[in-house]
Amino acid sequence: MATYKIAWMPGDGTGRDVMDAARIVLDAIGFDAEYVPADIGWEFWCSEGDALPPRTIDILKTTDCALFGAITSKPKDEAAEELAPQLQDKGLSYFSPIVKLRQLLNLHTNLRPCKAYAGNPLNFRDDIDLVVFRENTEGMYGGVEFHPLPQSVFDALCLNPKMKRFGDKGLENLALSTRIMSRQGCQSIVRQAFEYAKKHGRKSVTLVEKPNVLRETGGLMTRVAREVADHYPDIPLWETNIDAMCMWLVRKPQEYDVLVAENMFGDIISDLAAGLVGGLGFASAANIGDDYAVFEPTHGSAPKYAGQYKVNPTAMLLTVKLMFDWLGEKELAQRLEHAVATVIREHKVGTYDVGLNNTTLEVAEEVARNL
**130/210 same-domain check:** yes
Q: Is residue 118 part of a domain?
A: no
Q: Looking at this protein, which amino acid is placed at residue 276? A: L
The verdict on residue 266 lying in a domain is: yes
List of residues 6+ apart from 122 with CB closer than 8 A: 277, 278, 279, 282, 353, 354
Instruction: Note whether 267 and 295 are same-domain residues.
Output: no
Contact status, residue 253 vs residue 273, Cβ threshold 8 Å? yes
* Cβ atoms of 261 and 209 closer than 8 Å: yes
User: Within this chain, do residues 28 and 109 fall inside the same structural domain, yes or no?
Assistant: yes
Tally of domains in the chain: 3
Is residue 2 very low, low, confident or very high in pLDDT (cuts 50, 70, 90)?
confident
Give the pLDDT band (50/70/90) at residue 229.
very high
- Could you please report the per-residue DSSP string of 217-265? HHHHHHHHHHHHHTT-TTSPEEEEEHHHHHHHHHH-GGG--EEEE-HHH
CA 331 remoteness from chain centre: 24
In the predicted model, what is the mean pLDDT of residues 30-49? 97
Q: Are both 217 and 134 inside the same structural domain?
A: yes
The model's pLDDT over 334-344, given as tens digits with 9 standing for 90+, comes to 999 999 999 99
Q: Residues 43, 159: one domain?
A: no
**Residue 270 domain flag:** yes
Q: Are residues 309 and 234 in the same domain?
A: no
From CA 131, how far away is CA 185, in angstroms rounded? 19
Average pLDDT for the chain: 97
Do 248 and 315 reside in the same domain of the chain?
A: no
Could you tell me if 289 and 302 are in contact, meaning their C-beta atoms sit under 8 angstroms apart? no
Give the end of a domain, one of 276, 311, 327.
276
76, pLDDT greater than 90: no
Q: How far is 188 from 193, CA to CA, in rounded Å?
A: 9
Tell the burial category of 174 from Cβ atoms under 10 Å away from its Cβ (0-12, 13-18, 19+): middle
Q: Which tens digits make up the pLDDT trace of 235-284?
A: 999 999 999 999 999 999 999 999 999 999 999 999 999 999 999 999 99
Report pLDDT for 98.
Answer: 92
Residue 314 inside a domain? The answer is yes
- The pLDDT-based confidence of 216 (bands split at 50, 70, 90) is very high
Q: Are residues 133 and 219 in the same domain?
A: yes
Please tell me the predicted confidence (pLDDT) of residue 27. 98
Does residue 13 contact residue 70 with C-beta atoms inside 8 Å? yes
Domain identity same for 312 and 359: yes
- Mean local confidence (pLDDT), 316-337: 98
Task: Give me the mean pLDDT over the 44-62 stretch.
Answer: 96
- Using CB atoms within 10 Å of the CB of residue 9, give its burial: 0 to 12 exposed, 13 to 18 middle, 19+ buried: buried
**pLDDT value for 344:** 98
Share of the chain above pLDDT 90, in %: 96
Q: For the residues 66-75, what does the mean pLDDT come to?
A: 94
Given pLDDT bands bounded at 50, 70 and 90, which one contains residue 1? confident
pLDDT value at residue 5: 98
Q: Answer yes or no: do 171 and 38 share one domain.
A: no
With respect to residue 119, please indicate whether it lies within any of the assigned structural domains.
Answer: no
- Note down the domain range covering 353: 1-113+283-371
- Cα distances (Å, whole numbers) of residue 214 to 193, 209, 254, 266: 22, 9, 28, 15
Cα distance between residue 62 and residue 152, in whole Å: 42
In this prediction, residue 348 carries a pLDDT of 98
The phi-psi region of residue 89 (left if phi > 0; otherwise alpha if psi is between -120 and 50; otherwise beta) is left
Q: What is the DSSP string of 276-319?
A: HBT-GGG-EEEEE-SS-EEEEESS---GGGTTS--S--HHHHHH
Instruction: Say which CATH number the domain at 67 has.
Output: 3.40.718.10
Q: Give the pLDDT confidence of 80-127 residue by residue, as tens digits.
A: 999 999 999 898 989 899 999 999 999 999 999 999 999 999 999 999
Task: Give domain status of residue 247, yes or no.
Answer: yes
**What pLDDT, on a 0 to 100 scale, did the predictor assign at position 15?**
97
CA neighbor of 321 nearest in space, from 310, 303, 335: 335
